[in-house]
Amino acid sequence: MPNKKRKFSDLSTEQTSRVMEILLSCREAFDQLGIDENDEGVIDLNNIIDKLKNAKHTPFSDVSLVTLAKMGVKIQPMEWRSNGETEAKAYGRTTLSGAISVEETKKKISDVFKLVSLESEAGCRILIDTLLIHVVSNLETEKFGAVIAPEFRIESRVLERTENSFGGVVDYMLAYGDKTARDRIIKSKAFAFSDPEIYKMLQCNIYEAKPEDLFTPTTSLPQAAIAAIIKAQDLRLKTFRGCVSSGKRWVFFVYSAENPGHGQGKTVYWLDAIPLGERHDPIVNLELILGILRDWVSLISVSQANV
C-alpha cells in the first residue's frame, strides 16, 4: 500500500526549516541568473515559501499608498533647510583626488543621451549607473569606500497591521563604510550580506529604477518605501534612506520611525522630484543630484532637508 501523501502542515519544524533553506537557495539562484521576480515560476516559488510561512506574499510592485496607510505609515513632504540646496551643489561639484570628475561624468551622460534608448528600465539604468558610479568613486578614502550592489533581495517579512508578507528585489543597494566590508561585497554580494554583522560597518540606501513613462511618484514611491521599511525593521534602525529615479528625474525619501520597534510614528518624508535637466540644459541639476546622492549614503548631512 503506497504511503499517504503529506501536507505542508504535517512537516515538523526541523523539516520545514530544511525545505525553506532549499527553496531560499533556489530563489537566490534565480536572482543571480537575473530572472524577473514577476516571472510565473518565481511567483509560484514565492507562494510555496509563503505557504510555509503561513502568509500571503505581496511583491513590491503591488504596494500602493493604500498599503502604507493600512500599516499606519504617513507620507509627508520634506523641505530644504536653509542653504541646503547651495551646500548640496557645492558638495556635488567637489572631486576627490583620483576620483571621477564632474566634467568626465557630464561627458558620459552626454554619450548616454546620444547613444542609448531610455524608454525601457534597462535603458534608464544606464543613465542612473553613470551618476551612481561617479558618487561611489568620490566616496573612496584611505579607510572608507562605497559599493553598488545591483539586484539586491529584500527577504520577505510580515509587517504590522497586515496579514501579508512583503519582499522582493530592489534595483540597487548602495553601501558605504569600512573598506574591508566594502571589499567583501565586491567579491561576493551573496556571501557578504549573509552575515548580518556586516551591516554594523555600513550605511545603506536602496534605489529603484523606473522608466520615464512609468515614473509617477504616487505609484513608484510606495514600492521603494516598503523595501526601506523592511530593511529598517530588520536592522532595528529608526531611519532608512532611498530614492526612486528614471535617470532624468530623482525622488529622494527618508523613512523615519519614532523608535526601533516601529510601532507608532512611522513616516515617509519625500522631496519633490528633481529633474536632471531642463529644456535649456539637460544636466543643469547634475551637481545638486550628485551632492544629495553622496550625502544620502555618507550621512554627512551637508544637504539634509528638514523632516
pLDDT digits (tens, 9 = 90+) for 117-140: 999 999 999 999 999 999 999 999
What sign does the dihedral 207-210-215-216 (CA atoms) show? negative
Instruction: Show the cell assigned to 170.
Output: 530592489
Least confident of 43-47, 95-99, 218-222, 224-228: 43-47
| pLDDT for 88 beyond 60 | yes
Instruction: Show the cell assigned to 146.
Output: 562605497
pLDDT at 226: 95
| 68/15 Cα distance (integer angstroms) | 35
143-166 per-position pLDDT tens digit: 999 999 999 999 877 777 776 778
Least confident of 34-38, 102-106, 205-209: 34-38
pLDDT at 37: 77
Q: What are phi and psi of 72, to 5 degrees?
A: 80, 20
| pLDDT for 307 beyond 50 | no
pLDDT at 302: 45
Q: What percent of the chain has pLDDT over 90?
A: 63
What count of Cα atoms within 13 Å lies in the side-chain half-sphere of residue 101?
A: 5
